[in-house]
């Protein structure tokens, strides 16, 4: 994944089009999620098998973002403190055309069915590395949402600890009903 350093510093989104809140999560594929066989042993087994690879991918992308990203601006730092980030000095931001996702193309199709369609994702938080879609990079509500996830990572104590809990919740209850996601939406809305 190539990042252009100049693009990270100058977000393409125009500041006059500010979001005041996150768009509602009303997609029928997301809100009507029925875990079916995932309720039993299949969900823990699938997450257990996938976690080493997902954790390794997340660690690599976080390291790249920490290396190439920019630090928080003053207003973003204030938002980080407001939502409970303990170490805002560690956070780095990068803007990209499309949010990266682990796996192959067919895996992305399955993920999209579960509510993780990267074409509709505005940002991705991997502990202290925050990746924002370039057209939404100047939106404070998106930044605050991702900063809430950073605080959640800090509470869980590790990259894989948070990812495991987040994946379990999203697969079991659906993206918009996952407790960690609902917390992020609630705390990021002014």
Q: What is the pLDDT of residue 109?
A: 81
What pLDDT was estimated at residue 12?
Answer: 42
Q: Whole-prediction pTM value?
A: 0.77
Domains of the chain: which residue ranges? 35-188
Could you read off the pLDDT of 145-189 as tens digits, one per residue? 999 999 999 999 999 999 999 988 887 887 888 999 999 999 998
> What local confidence, expressed as pLDDT, does residue 22 receive?
57
DSSP output for 14-66: -TTS--SSPPP---HHHHT---GGGGTTHHHHHHHHHHHHHHHHHHHHHHHHH
Distance CA 93, CA 83 (A): 17
Which helix (H) or strand (E) segment holds residue 92: the answer is strand 92-96
Among 17-21, 119-123, 124-128, 168-172, the range of highest mean pLDDT: 124-128
Residue 96: phi, psi to the nearest 5?
Answer: -135, 165
Cα separation of 61 and 87, whole Å?
19
pLDDT single digits (tens) 18-44? 555 555 544 434 445 555 655 566 767
Question: In this predicted structure, what is the pLDDT of residue 13?
Answer: 45
Tell me the average pLDDT of the chain: 82
């Amino acid at each position: 994944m190539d990042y252009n350093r100049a693009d990270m510093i100058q977000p393409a989104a125009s500041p006059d089009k500010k979001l005041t809140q996150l768009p509602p999560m009303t997609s029928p594929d997301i809100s009507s999620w029925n875990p079916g066989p995932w309720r039993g042993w299949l969900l823990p087994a699938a997450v257990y098998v996938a976690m080493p690879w997902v954790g390794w991918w997340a660690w690599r992308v976080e390291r790249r973002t920490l290396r190439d990203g920019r630090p928080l601006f003053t207003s973003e730092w204030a938002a980080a403190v407001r939502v409970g980030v303990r170490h805002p000095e560690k956070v780095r931001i990068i803007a990209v055309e499309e949010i990266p996702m682990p796996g192959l193309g067919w895996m992305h199709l399955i993920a999209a069915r579960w509510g993780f369609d990267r074409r509709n994702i505005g940002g991705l938080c991997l502990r202290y590395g925050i990746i924002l879609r370039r057209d939404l990079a100047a939106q404070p509500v998106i930044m605050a949402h991702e900063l809430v996830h950073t605080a959640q990572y800090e509470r869980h104590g590790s990259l894989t600890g948070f990812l495991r809990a987040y994946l379990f919740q999203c697969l079991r209850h659906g993206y918009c009903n996952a407790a960690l996601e609902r917390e992020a939406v609630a705390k990021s809305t002014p």
